[in-house]
Amino acid sequence: MTAHVNNERPATQYLRAITENLTGLGSLMTSIVAASEQGAERLVAGGSLYAVADEPGFVSEATGRSGGIRQIRNRREYQTTTLTNRDVILAGTLNNDPEQQARELDAFREQGALVVLFGSAVSPVCDHADILIDNGLPVGAVPVLSVPCRPEKVCPTGGIANITALWVFTCELIAACSRLGKTLAMYQSGGMPGGGARNNAYRDVMFHEDITIPSIVAGALGGQFLAEMDRCFTRISQQLPRFFQSGALIAQSLDSGHHVWVSGNGHYFAAQDGMPGDPRLFSLNMNGMNWNEAVAAFQQEDTFAYWGYYNFPEGLVLATRKARMHSIWMEGGCETGKFIARPQEILIDCGWKHGDACIAVPGYDIRVVPPSGVVQAAALWMLIGEAASQVRA
Protein backbone atom coordinates (compact mmCIF):
# COMPACT_ATOMS: atom_id res chain seq x y z
CA MET A 1 0.00 0.00 0.00
CA THR A 2 1.34 3.43 -0.92
CA ALA A 3 2.20 5.58 2.08
CA HIS A 4 0.56 8.94 2.55
CA VAL A 5 3.70 11.11 2.34
CA ASN A 6 2.20 14.60 2.10
CA ASN A 7 2.35 16.11 5.56
CA GLU A 8 -0.34 18.67 4.76
CA ARG A 9 -3.75 17.62 6.07
CA PRO A 10 -6.26 16.48 3.40
CA ALA A 11 -8.79 19.20 4.27
CA THR A 12 -6.08 21.83 3.87
CA GLN A 13 -4.94 20.37 0.55
CA TYR A 14 -8.47 20.27 -0.79
CA LEU A 15 -9.28 23.80 0.32
CA ARG A 16 -6.13 25.06 -1.37
CA ALA A 17 -7.08 23.33 -4.63
CA ILE A 18 -10.51 24.97 -4.62
CA THR A 19 -9.27 28.45 -3.77
CA GLU A 20 -6.55 28.26 -6.42
CA ASN A 21 -9.25 27.41 -8.95
CA LEU A 22 -11.24 30.48 -7.87
CA THR A 23 -8.21 32.66 -8.56
CA GLY A 24 -7.89 31.21 -12.04
CA LEU A 25 -11.57 31.75 -12.73
CA GLY A 26 -11.21 35.44 -11.95
CA SER A 27 -8.67 35.77 -14.76
CA LEU A 28 -11.31 34.56 -17.24
CA MET A 29 -13.78 37.37 -16.51
CA THR A 30 -13.39 38.99 -19.94
CA SER A 31 -14.34 35.79 -21.76
CA ILE A 32 -17.20 35.11 -19.33
CA VAL A 33 -18.57 38.61 -19.95
CA ALA A 34 -18.37 38.07 -23.72
CA ALA A 35 -20.22 34.76 -23.43
CA SER A 36 -22.91 36.31 -21.24
CA GLU A 37 -23.44 39.12 -23.74
CA GLN A 38 -24.05 36.63 -26.53
CA GLY A 39 -26.50 34.76 -24.34
CA ALA A 40 -28.29 37.94 -23.27
CA GLU A 41 -28.85 39.03 -26.88
CA ARG A 42 -30.64 35.77 -27.62
CA LEU A 43 -32.76 35.78 -24.48
CA VAL A 44 -33.82 39.41 -24.99
CA ALA A 45 -34.86 38.43 -28.51
CA GLY A 46 -37.32 35.96 -26.97
CA GLY A 47 -35.18 32.88 -26.48
CA SER A 48 -35.33 30.21 -23.80
CA LEU A 49 -32.59 29.12 -21.41
CA TYR A 50 -31.76 25.48 -20.68
CA ALA A 51 -29.25 23.50 -18.63
CA VAL A 52 -27.85 20.07 -19.47
CA ALA A 53 -24.86 18.03 -18.33
CA ASP A 54 -23.27 14.60 -18.17
CA GLU A 55 -23.79 14.55 -14.38
CA PRO A 56 -26.98 15.44 -12.49
CA GLY A 57 -25.49 17.93 -10.05
CA PHE A 58 -24.82 20.67 -12.60
CA VAL A 59 -28.44 20.75 -13.77
CA SER A 60 -29.80 20.51 -10.23
CA GLU A 61 -27.65 23.45 -9.17
CA ALA A 62 -28.67 25.51 -12.20
CA THR A 63 -32.44 25.00 -12.08
CA GLY A 64 -35.02 25.81 -9.43
CA ARG A 65 -32.31 27.30 -7.27
CA SER A 66 -32.55 29.98 -4.62
CA GLY A 67 -30.90 33.07 -6.09
CA GLY A 68 -30.85 31.53 -9.57
CA ILE A 69 -32.68 32.39 -12.78
CA ARG A 70 -36.41 31.71 -12.61
CA GLN A 71 -36.75 30.57 -16.20
CA ILE A 72 -33.88 28.14 -16.68
CA ARG A 73 -35.06 24.65 -17.51
CA ASN A 74 -33.68 21.15 -17.49
CA ARG A 75 -33.34 20.50 -21.22
CA ARG A 76 -33.99 16.77 -20.84
CA GLU A 77 -37.43 17.56 -19.42
CA TYR A 78 -38.19 19.59 -22.57
CA GLN A 79 -36.72 17.33 -25.23
CA THR A 80 -39.80 17.55 -27.41
CA THR A 81 -39.55 21.35 -27.56
CA THR A 82 -37.81 22.37 -30.77
CA LEU A 83 -34.92 24.75 -30.24
CA THR A 84 -34.42 27.97 -32.20
CA ASN A 85 -31.58 30.36 -32.95
CA ARG A 86 -32.70 32.47 -29.98
CA ASP A 87 -32.21 29.73 -27.39
CA VAL A 88 -29.24 29.22 -25.08
CA ILE A 89 -27.93 25.94 -23.66
CA LEU A 90 -25.68 25.96 -20.60
CA ALA A 91 -23.88 22.60 -20.62
CA GLY A 92 -21.60 21.08 -18.00
CA THR A 93 -19.10 18.33 -18.73
CA LEU A 94 -16.97 16.03 -16.59
CA ASN A 95 -16.16 13.90 -19.64
CA ASN A 96 -18.26 11.02 -18.33
CA ASP A 97 -19.48 10.04 -21.82
CA PRO A 98 -17.85 12.42 -24.30
CA GLU A 99 -19.13 10.75 -27.47
CA GLN A 100 -22.76 10.82 -26.36
CA GLN A 101 -22.47 14.36 -25.06
CA ALA A 102 -20.85 15.51 -28.29
CA ARG A 103 -23.79 14.14 -30.28
CA GLU A 104 -26.22 15.86 -27.94
CA LEU A 105 -24.53 19.23 -28.22
CA ASP A 106 -24.23 18.90 -32.00
CA ALA A 107 -27.99 18.36 -32.18
CA PHE A 108 -28.62 21.50 -30.15
CA ARG A 109 -26.40 23.56 -32.43
CA GLU A 110 -27.97 22.10 -35.57
CA GLN A 111 -31.27 23.53 -34.36
CA GLY A 112 -29.63 26.92 -33.97
CA ALA A 113 -29.14 27.10 -30.18
CA LEU A 114 -26.09 28.75 -28.67
CA VAL A 115 -24.18 26.17 -26.59
CA VAL A 116 -22.04 27.47 -23.72
CA LEU A 117 -19.93 24.67 -22.25
CA PHE A 118 -18.49 24.63 -18.72
CA GLY A 119 -15.59 22.21 -18.39
CA SER A 120 -11.96 21.45 -19.09
CA ALA A 121 -10.30 23.00 -22.13
CA VAL A 122 -8.74 19.64 -22.92
CA SER A 123 -12.05 17.77 -23.06
CA PRO A 124 -12.93 16.53 -26.57
CA VAL A 125 -16.46 17.82 -25.95
CA CYS A 126 -15.15 21.40 -26.35
CA ASP A 127 -15.15 21.05 -30.13
CA HIS A 128 -18.93 20.59 -30.03
CA ALA A 129 -19.81 23.85 -28.26
CA ASP A 130 -19.96 27.43 -29.47
CA ILE A 131 -18.31 28.86 -26.35
CA LEU A 132 -16.14 27.26 -23.66
CA ILE A 133 -15.93 28.54 -20.11
CA ASP A 134 -12.70 26.79 -19.09
CA ASN A 135 -12.77 25.41 -15.54
CA GLY A 136 -8.97 25.52 -15.49
CA LEU A 137 -8.57 21.82 -14.68
CA PRO A 138 -7.53 18.61 -16.44
CA VAL A 139 -10.29 16.57 -18.01
CA GLY A 140 -12.77 14.69 -15.82
CA ALA A 141 -13.82 14.90 -12.18
CA VAL A 142 -10.21 15.58 -11.07
CA PRO A 143 -9.85 13.99 -7.61
CA VAL A 144 -6.90 15.59 -5.81
CA LEU A 145 -6.22 13.72 -2.54
CA SER A 146 -4.00 10.69 -1.98
CA VAL A 147 -5.09 8.64 1.05
CA PRO A 148 -3.85 5.35 2.50
CA CYS A 149 -7.16 3.50 2.18
CA ARG A 150 -7.50 3.88 -1.62
CA PRO A 151 -5.04 3.22 -4.47
CA GLU A 152 -6.46 6.08 -6.57
CA LYS A 153 -6.91 9.73 -5.72
CA VAL A 154 -10.16 10.76 -4.06
CA CYS A 155 -12.30 13.88 -3.58
CA PRO A 156 -13.16 15.45 -6.96
CA THR A 157 -12.88 19.12 -7.85
CA GLY A 158 -14.12 19.31 -11.45
CA GLY A 159 -17.83 19.58 -10.70
CA ILE A 160 -17.29 22.32 -8.12
CA ALA A 161 -15.19 24.26 -10.63
CA ASN A 162 -18.00 23.97 -13.19
CA ILE A 163 -20.76 25.25 -10.92
CA THR A 164 -18.57 28.08 -9.66
CA ALA A 165 -18.07 29.18 -13.26
CA LEU A 166 -21.82 28.75 -13.85
CA TRP A 167 -22.62 31.22 -11.06
CA VAL A 168 -20.06 33.74 -12.26
CA PHE A 169 -21.66 33.46 -15.72
CA THR A 170 -25.11 33.92 -14.16
CA CYS A 171 -23.93 37.12 -12.48
CA GLU A 172 -22.67 38.45 -15.77
CA LEU A 173 -25.82 37.36 -17.63
CA ILE A 174 -27.88 39.46 -15.21
CA ALA A 175 -25.59 42.41 -15.92
CA ALA A 176 -25.55 41.88 -19.69
CA CYS A 177 -29.35 41.82 -19.78
CA SER A 178 -29.44 45.03 -17.74
CA ARG A 179 -27.30 46.73 -20.36
CA LEU A 180 -29.97 45.76 -22.90
CA GLY A 181 -32.68 47.28 -20.70
CA LYS A 182 -33.99 44.00 -19.30
CA THR A 183 -34.20 42.58 -15.75
CA LEU A 184 -34.00 38.81 -15.37
CA ALA A 185 -36.51 37.31 -12.94
CA MET A 186 -34.69 35.47 -10.16
CA TYR A 187 -35.69 32.88 -7.56
CA GLN A 188 -35.92 33.72 -3.89
CA SER A 189 -35.28 31.08 -1.24
CA GLY A 190 -38.53 29.39 -0.30
CA GLY A 191 -37.33 29.51 3.30
CA MET A 192 -37.44 33.30 3.35
CA PRO A 193 -40.66 35.16 4.25
CA GLY A 194 -42.79 35.49 1.12
CA GLY A 195 -40.34 33.51 -0.99
CA GLY A 196 -42.80 30.86 -2.16
CA ALA A 197 -45.47 33.37 -3.15
CA ARG A 198 -42.93 35.54 -4.97
CA ASN A 199 -41.57 32.58 -6.92
CA ASN A 200 -45.09 31.53 -7.94
CA ALA A 201 -45.85 35.06 -9.14
CA TYR A 202 -42.91 34.87 -11.56
CA ARG A 203 -43.43 31.24 -12.56
CA ASP A 204 -43.56 31.98 -16.30
CA VAL A 205 -41.51 35.19 -16.36
CA MET A 206 -38.11 35.52 -18.02
CA PHE A 207 -37.90 39.31 -17.71
CA HIS A 208 -39.65 41.54 -15.20
CA GLU A 209 -42.21 44.05 -16.35
CA ASP A 210 -42.57 45.40 -12.80
CA ILE A 211 -38.89 45.92 -11.96
CA THR A 212 -36.18 47.64 -13.97
CA ILE A 213 -32.63 47.65 -12.69
CA PRO A 214 -30.03 50.15 -13.91
CA SER A 215 -27.33 49.16 -16.37
CA ILE A 216 -24.58 47.22 -14.58
CA VAL A 217 -20.97 47.46 -15.66
CA ALA A 218 -19.38 44.27 -17.00
CA GLY A 219 -17.45 42.22 -14.46
CA ALA A 220 -18.93 43.87 -11.37
CA LEU A 221 -21.36 41.18 -10.26
CA GLY A 222 -19.06 38.31 -11.18
CA GLY A 223 -16.31 39.96 -9.17
CA GLN A 224 -18.65 40.33 -6.20
CA PHE A 225 -19.50 36.63 -6.33
CA LEU A 226 -15.85 35.60 -6.38
CA ALA A 227 -15.20 37.94 -3.45
CA GLU A 228 -18.05 36.28 -1.54
CA MET A 229 -16.56 32.86 -2.32
CA ASP A 230 -13.24 34.06 -0.97
CA ARG A 231 -14.95 35.30 2.20
CA CYS A 232 -16.75 31.97 2.74
CA PHE A 233 -13.60 29.91 2.22
CA THR A 234 -11.63 32.21 4.49
CA ARG A 235 -14.24 31.44 7.16
CA ILE A 236 -13.86 27.72 6.41
CA SER A 237 -10.06 28.00 6.74
CA GLN A 238 -10.47 29.42 10.24
CA GLN A 239 -12.19 26.19 11.32
CA LEU A 240 -9.85 23.55 9.93
CA PRO A 241 -9.34 21.89 13.34
CA ARG A 242 -13.07 21.13 13.35
CA PHE A 243 -12.67 19.27 10.06
CA PHE A 244 -9.75 17.32 11.50
CA GLN A 245 -11.80 16.41 14.57
CA SER A 246 -14.87 15.51 12.50
CA GLY A 247 -12.86 13.27 10.19
CA ALA A 248 -11.44 11.45 13.20
CA LEU A 249 -14.93 10.86 14.62
CA ILE A 250 -16.17 9.43 11.33
CA ALA A 251 -13.13 7.16 11.00
CA GLN A 252 -13.64 5.98 14.58
CA SER A 253 -17.27 5.06 13.93
CA LEU A 254 -16.40 3.22 10.71
CA ASP A 255 -13.43 1.37 12.21
CA SER A 256 -15.52 0.19 15.16
CA GLY A 257 -18.19 -1.25 12.86
CA HIS A 258 -20.75 1.47 13.56
CA HIS A 259 -22.62 3.78 11.21
CA VAL A 260 -22.05 7.19 9.75
CA TRP A 261 -25.36 8.88 9.02
CA VAL A 262 -25.37 11.75 6.53
CA SER A 263 -28.24 13.97 5.46
CA GLY A 264 -28.47 17.33 3.80
CA ASN A 265 -30.53 19.96 2.10
CA GLY A 266 -28.80 21.04 -1.06
CA HIS A 267 -29.08 20.86 -4.84
CA TYR A 268 -25.48 20.05 -5.67
CA PHE A 269 -24.70 18.27 -2.40
CA ALA A 270 -26.97 15.29 -3.11
CA ALA A 271 -25.32 14.63 -6.47
CA GLN A 272 -21.91 14.01 -4.90
CA ASP A 273 -22.88 10.50 -3.77
CA GLY A 274 -20.90 8.04 -5.88
CA MET A 275 -19.24 10.68 -8.05
CA PRO A 276 -15.90 9.60 -9.58
CA GLY A 277 -13.38 10.13 -6.80
CA ASP A 278 -15.81 9.26 -4.02
CA PRO A 279 -14.05 6.74 -1.73
CA ARG A 280 -17.54 5.52 -0.75
CA LEU A 281 -16.93 5.47 2.97
CA PHE A 282 -20.63 6.21 3.55
CA SER A 283 -23.73 7.26 1.65
CA LEU A 284 -25.25 10.73 1.66
CA ASN A 285 -28.83 9.51 2.04
CA MET A 286 -29.10 8.21 5.62
CA ASN A 287 -27.90 4.78 4.48
CA GLY A 288 -30.99 4.35 2.33
CA MET A 289 -33.43 4.74 5.21
CA ASN A 290 -36.12 7.32 5.76
CA TRP A 291 -35.66 9.64 8.71
CA ASN A 292 -37.85 7.62 11.09
CA GLU A 293 -36.05 4.36 10.32
CA ALA A 294 -32.65 5.99 10.64
CA VAL A 295 -33.45 7.74 13.91
CA ALA A 296 -34.66 4.45 15.37
CA ALA A 297 -31.29 2.91 14.47
CA PHE A 298 -29.08 5.68 15.91
CA GLN A 299 -26.47 4.47 18.41
CA GLN A 300 -24.12 6.40 20.66
CA GLU A 301 -21.05 5.11 18.81
CA ASP A 302 -22.38 6.35 15.44
CA THR A 303 -21.59 9.73 13.92
CA PHE A 304 -24.16 11.97 12.24
CA ALA A 305 -23.39 14.79 9.78
CA TYR A 306 -25.79 17.30 8.27
CA TRP A 307 -25.34 19.85 5.49
CA GLY A 308 -27.96 22.60 5.40
CA TYR A 309 -28.59 26.11 4.13
CA TYR A 310 -29.43 28.06 7.29
CA ASN A 311 -32.01 26.00 9.20
CA PHE A 312 -31.39 23.15 11.64
CA PRO A 313 -33.97 20.31 11.45
CA GLU A 314 -35.26 20.13 15.00
CA GLY A 315 -36.20 16.44 14.79
CA LEU A 316 -32.67 15.39 13.87
CA VAL A 317 -31.08 17.67 16.44
CA LEU A 318 -33.23 16.14 19.18
CA ALA A 319 -32.67 12.58 17.92
CA THR A 320 -28.88 12.88 17.86
CA ARG A 321 -28.92 14.39 21.36
CA LYS A 322 -31.18 11.64 22.64
CA ALA A 323 -28.80 9.01 21.25
CA ARG A 324 -25.86 10.89 22.81
CA MET A 325 -23.98 10.47 19.53
CA HIS A 326 -21.45 12.83 18.00
CA SER A 327 -22.90 15.08 15.33
CA ILE A 328 -21.46 17.49 12.77
CA TRP A 329 -23.47 20.44 11.43
CA MET A 330 -22.37 22.28 8.27
CA GLU A 331 -24.51 25.39 7.89
CA GLY A 332 -24.63 28.99 6.75
CA GLY A 333 -26.60 31.76 8.36
CA CYS A 334 -24.77 31.17 11.64
CA GLU A 335 -24.73 34.89 12.37
CA THR A 336 -28.32 34.46 13.61
CA GLY A 337 -27.09 32.38 16.58
CA LYS A 338 -29.94 29.86 16.23
CA PHE A 339 -27.81 26.84 17.12
CA ILE A 340 -25.75 26.50 20.28
CA ALA A 341 -23.52 23.45 19.98
CA ARG A 342 -23.32 21.02 22.89
CA PRO A 343 -20.05 19.21 23.76
CA GLN A 344 -20.77 16.22 21.47
CA GLU A 345 -21.71 18.51 18.57
CA ILE A 346 -19.41 20.22 16.06
CA LEU A 347 -20.78 23.27 14.25
CA ILE A 348 -18.91 24.42 11.14
CA ASP A 349 -19.96 27.85 9.90
CA CYS A 350 -19.83 27.67 6.10
CA GLY A 351 -19.82 31.43 5.83
CA TRP A 352 -22.81 32.43 3.74
CA LYS A 353 -25.42 34.68 5.30
CA HIS A 354 -29.00 33.87 6.26
CA GLY A 355 -31.04 33.54 3.07
CA ASP A 356 -28.06 32.16 1.11
CA ALA A 357 -28.11 34.47 -1.95
CA CYS A 358 -25.24 36.94 -1.70
CA ILE A 359 -25.37 39.59 -4.45
CA ALA A 360 -27.29 42.82 -3.90
CA VAL A 361 -28.24 43.98 -7.40
CA PRO A 362 -28.97 47.72 -7.53
CA GLY A 363 -32.71 48.31 -7.80
CA TYR A 364 -33.67 44.64 -7.33
CA ASP A 365 -35.91 43.46 -4.50
CA ILE A 366 -33.94 40.38 -3.38
CA ARG A 367 -30.37 39.21 -3.20
CA VAL A 368 -29.34 36.82 -5.97
CA VAL A 369 -26.82 34.04 -6.70
CA PRO A 370 -26.08 31.49 -3.94
CA PRO A 371 -22.63 30.54 -2.65
CA SER A 372 -23.92 27.50 -0.75
CA GLY A 373 -23.73 24.89 -3.52
CA VAL A 374 -20.03 25.51 -4.07
CA VAL A 375 -19.17 25.74 -0.37
CA GLN A 376 -21.33 22.78 0.73
CA ALA A 377 -19.68 20.46 -1.77
CA ALA A 378 -16.18 21.64 -0.94
CA ALA A 379 -16.82 21.20 2.78
CA LEU A 380 -18.16 17.70 2.12
CA TRP A 381 -15.02 16.61 0.27
CA MET A 382 -12.78 18.24 2.86
CA LEU A 383 -14.47 16.14 5.54
CA ILE A 384 -14.44 12.97 3.45
CA GLY A 385 -10.74 13.50 2.74
CA GLU A 386 -10.03 13.77 6.47
CA ALA A 387 -12.02 10.62 7.24
CA ALA A 388 -10.44 8.68 4.37
CA SER A 389 -6.94 9.62 5.59
CA GLN A 390 -7.64 8.21 9.06
CA VAL A 391 -9.88 5.18 8.51
CA ARG A 392 -8.21 1.77 8.54
CA ALA A 393 -7.98 0.18 5.09
For residue 1, tell me if it sits in a domain: no
Percent helix, strand, coil in the chain, to 5, is 45, 15, 40
* Domains in the chain, number: 2
Same domain, yes or no: 206 and 255: no
Q: Is residue 32 part of a domain?
A: yes
The alpha carbon dihedral of 363, 38, 123, 64 has a sign of positive
* Alpha-carbon distance values, 177 to 40, 45, 180, 199, 386 (Å): 5, 11, 5, 20, 43
Q: Based on the domain organization, do 253 and 380 belong to the same domain?
A: yes
Tell me: do 268 and 204 sit in the same domain.
no
Domain presence at residue 218: yes
pLDDT at 320 (0 to 100) = 97
Other beta carbons less than 10 A from residue 71's beta carbon: 19
- Do 181 and 96 fall into the same domain? yes
pLDDT at residue 393 in the model: 65
Question: Residue 115: which residues within 8 A CB-CB, separation 6 or more?
Answer: 89, 91, 105, 108, 109, 128, 129, 130, 131
Cα distances (angstroms) measured from residue 339 to each of 239, 309, 325: 17, 13, 17
Among 196, 231, 266, the domain boundary falls at 231
pTM: 0.95
Annotate 40-100 with DSSP letters as a single string. Answer: HHHHHTT--EEEEESSHHHHHHHSS-TTSBTTEEEGGGGTTSPP-TT-EEEEE--SSSHHH
The reply to whether 91 and 210 lie within a common domain is yes
Q: Could you tell me which residues come within 8 angstroms of residue 382 by beta carbon, excluding any fewer than 6 positions away?
A: 10, 11, 14, 15, 155, 236, 243
Domain that holds residue 83: 10-231
Residues 331 and 284 in one domain: yes
Q: Read out DSSP for 73-88?
A: EEGGGGTTSPP-TT-E
Asked if 62 contacts 374 with a C-beta cutoff of 8 angstroms, the reply is no
Which of 231, 249, 276 terminates a domain? The answer is: 231
Grouping H, G, I as helix, E, B as strand and the rest as coil, residue 357 is coil
Examine residue 2 and state whether it is found in any structural domain, yes or no. Answer: no
SS3 of residue 367 by DSSP: strand
Query: Is 94 a domain residue?
Result: yes
Length of the chain equals 393
Shared-domain flag, residues 195 and 259? no
* 144 in the same domain as 88: yes
Task: Assess whether 251 and 130 both reside in one domain.
Answer: no
Domain closes at, from 202, 231, 260: 231
Q: Are residues 94 and 198 in the same domain?
A: yes
The reported pLDDT for the residue numbered 3 is: 34
Between the CA of residue 322 and those of 301, 304, 315, 344, what are the distances in Å?
A: 13, 13, 10, 11
8 Å CB contact between 356 and 310: yes
Q: Encode the chain (393 residues) as per-residue pLDDT tens digits.
A: 233 345 799 999 999 999 999 999 999 999 999 999 999 999 999 999 999 999 999 999 999 898 999 999 999 999 899 999 999 999 999 999 999 999 999 999 999 999 999 999 999 999 999 999 999 999 999 999 999 999 999 999 999 999 999 999 999 999 999 999 999 999 998 888 899 999 999 999 999 999 999 999 999 999 999 999 999 999 999 999 999 999 999 999 999 999 999 999 888 998 999 999 999 999 999 999 998 999 999 999 999 999 998 888 999 999 999 999 999 999 998 888 878 889 999 999 999 998 889 999 999 999 999 999 999 999 999 999 999 999 986
3-class secondary structure, 219 = coil
Is residue 33 assigned to a domain? yes
What CATH number is given to the structural domain containing 359?
3.40.50.10490
Assess whether 17 and 110 both reside in one domain.
Answer: yes
- Whether residues 179 and 34 share a domain: the answer is yes
Q: How far apart are CA 87 and CA 47, in angstroms?
A: 4
